């Protein structure tokens, strides 16, 4: 069945899909390959904010206790933090500040998370924690300006509903931490944005209403609500990696919608909602992130998520990511391979395709999104259905559209189509066919770079009655971007293609 796309827009495309992106711990941003990767991401996608763990962990070195003349003192040192934020701002991206984890010199216990040992215990002194928060946020204001930092969301902790990230998943202890932290942030400036509670998937019913009741009853400052969204099941461990079952992608959209549903009628009902982490799997060592399947899996989420939340941040942009240790594989969870090699993955291309869409939505469906920009260019994002059960995927899916073309004089339209699939734009597939080399040669890296480029086609389409008929035949796990632009024919009257080889004019 052919879908007739109306000429008048039905809405505007939200930029929630690119408002923020996730990263590994912040001190990784001191590495050159990390910065090179982020520069590529910013050039081709252009996120506005970046969020990562460990701002207050020992690796960034902000909290520095010492003894002098028999008394304990604390020095707040910002050298590494300044280098990280400077690098971000130079690349056109701002911090989405996550306050955590606990500095070891302030921690009440020794429980840690991740290979790099982020401490997840409450502070042994909430007064000293508040001083640390005020000093850190105050320094950012002094260095980058109040107007600038007022635009940076400040989130309190990460997934306190999980015992791995907050000792005993103690809600009362987190509420106290949030209250102390929020007031400390507002002590610096009342217009700074502070929020939370950065819940994990599945914690909404118990945690979020209780958190909302706490901040309301005690008049604790809160400017936004945050949570995370993932659809993966328990980790099935293999050497140097995991495999997991996945729920259908619609489950991600259901998780996006959950906070506003749970907060309806509460004092927090109208606050912005930020999904500060989302993905299929939270594990960086799950190879599903590297596949064409993954791009097709997330396509409907990127196309529709902005209707539900103010932002949703892909976790994470970079393969410079060491939560479970130093990567042992060429592929490791982010948008690209070991990122100084600058080899893109299908999900990277999905985001780059989103960046080519116009602001006006003309139509949307279960397998497509049609947009138009101010020049009249129509951009269609279409994706093949996926099967999360691991069954034989549908091949040969077709999206048939009738598109309105601007310009009454146009007789033809130019079609530019870019695609990723099992066969195109798929470095993972090429790497597998090369025998999965752990340390590719220079020649193999060149092959992978070429294999990572999207497949591209172009052609001329007739315009009949101000419309173009577009048939998009999608291969297995394909995501395609079709750009259709009206053509102004400037061919000179003497041009005759049949004379290219010196023949006589017709």
The per-residue pLDDT for range 29-43, each reduced to its tens digit, is: 999 989 999 999 999
Note if 159 is an active site residue. yes
Note if 277 is an active site residue. yes
Q: Report whether 366 contacts 390 (CB < 8 A).
A: no
Residue of 260, 257, 193, 258 lying closest to 222 (CA atoms):
193
Q: Please write the tens of the pLDDT for every residue from 204-259.
A: 678 999 999 999 999 999 999 999 999 999 999 998 888 999 999 999 999 999 99
Backbone phi, psi, residue 294, to 5°: -65, -40
**Percentage, residues of the chain above pLDDT 90:** 82
Token pair for residue 491? 């061919």
Q: Please write the tens of the pLDDT for every residue from 72-104.
A: 999 999 999 999 999 999 999 999 999 999 999
Residues 472 and 379: their CA atoms lie apart, in Å, by: 13
| From 277, 323, 478, 483, the catalytic residue | 277
Q: Tokens 């216990």: give the residue.
A: 109
* pTM reported for the whole predicted model: 0.94
| From 159, 179, 422, 478, the catalytic residue | 159
Element (H, E) at 382: strand 378-383
Residue 408: alpha-carbon gap to chain centroid: 40
């Amino acid at each position: 069945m052919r879908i007739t796309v109306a000429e008048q827009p039905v809405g505007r495309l939200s930029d929630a899909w690119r408002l923020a992106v996730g990263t590994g711990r912040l001190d990784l941003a001191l590495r050159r390959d990390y910065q090179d990767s982020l520069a590529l991401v910013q050039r081709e996608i252009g996120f506005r904010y970046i969020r990562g763990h460990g701002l207050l962990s020992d690796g960034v070195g902000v909290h520095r206790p010492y003894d002098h003349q028999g008394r304990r003192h604390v020095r707040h040192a910002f050298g590494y933090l300044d280098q990280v934020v400077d690098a971000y701002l130079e690349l056109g991206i701002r911090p989405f500040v996550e306050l955590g984890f606990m500095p070891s010199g302030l921690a009440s216990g020794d429980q840690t998370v991740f290979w790099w040992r982020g401490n997840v215990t409450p502070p042994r002194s909430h007064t000293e924690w508040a001083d640390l928060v005020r000093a850190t946020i105050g320094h950012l204001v002094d260095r980058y300006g109040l107007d600038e930092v007022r635009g940076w969301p400040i989130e309190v902790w990460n997934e306190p509903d999980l015992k791995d990230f907050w000792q005993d998943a103690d809600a009362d202890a987190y509420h106290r931490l949030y209250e102390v932290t929020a007031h400390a942030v507002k002590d610096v400036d009342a217009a700074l944005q502070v929020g939370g509670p950065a819940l994990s998937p599945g914690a909404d019913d118990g945690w979020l209403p209780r958190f909302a009741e706490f901040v309301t009853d005690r008049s604790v400052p809160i400017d936004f609500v945050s949570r995370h969204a993932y659809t993966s099941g328990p980790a099935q461990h293999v050497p140097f990696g995991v495999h997991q079952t996945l729920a259908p992608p619609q489950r991600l959209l259901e998780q996006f919608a959950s906070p506003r549903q749970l907060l309806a009628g509460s004092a927090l009902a109208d606050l912005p909602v930020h999904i500060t982490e989302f993905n299929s799997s939270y594990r960086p060592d799950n190879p599903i992130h590297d596949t064409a399947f993954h791009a097709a899996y997330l396509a409907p989420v990127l196309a529709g998520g902005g209707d539900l939340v103010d932002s949703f941040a892909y976790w994470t942009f970079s393969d410079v990511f060491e939560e479970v240790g130093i990567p042992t594989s060429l592929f490791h969870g982010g948008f690209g391979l070991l990122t100084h090699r600058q080899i893109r993955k299908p999900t990277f291309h999905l985001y780059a395709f989103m960046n080519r869409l116009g602001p006006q939505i003309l139509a949307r469906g279960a397998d497509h999104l049609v947009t138009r920009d101010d020049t009249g260019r129509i951009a269609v994002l279409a994706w093949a259905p996926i099967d999360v059960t691991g069954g034989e995927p549908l091949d040969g899916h077709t999206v048939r559209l009738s598109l309105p073309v601007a310009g009454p004089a146009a007789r033809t339209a130019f079609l530019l189509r870019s695609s990723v699939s099992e066969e195109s734009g798929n470095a993972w597939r090429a790497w597998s066919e090369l025998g999965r080399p752990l340390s590719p040669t220079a020649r193999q890296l060149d092959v992978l770079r070429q294999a990572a480029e999207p497949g591209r086609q172009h052609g001329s389409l007739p315009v009949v009655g101000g419309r173009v008929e577009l048939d998009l035949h999608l291969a297995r796990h394909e995501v395609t971007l079709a750009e259709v632009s009206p053509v102004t024919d400037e061919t000179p009257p003497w041009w005759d293609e049949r004379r290219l080889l010196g023949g006589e004019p017709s």
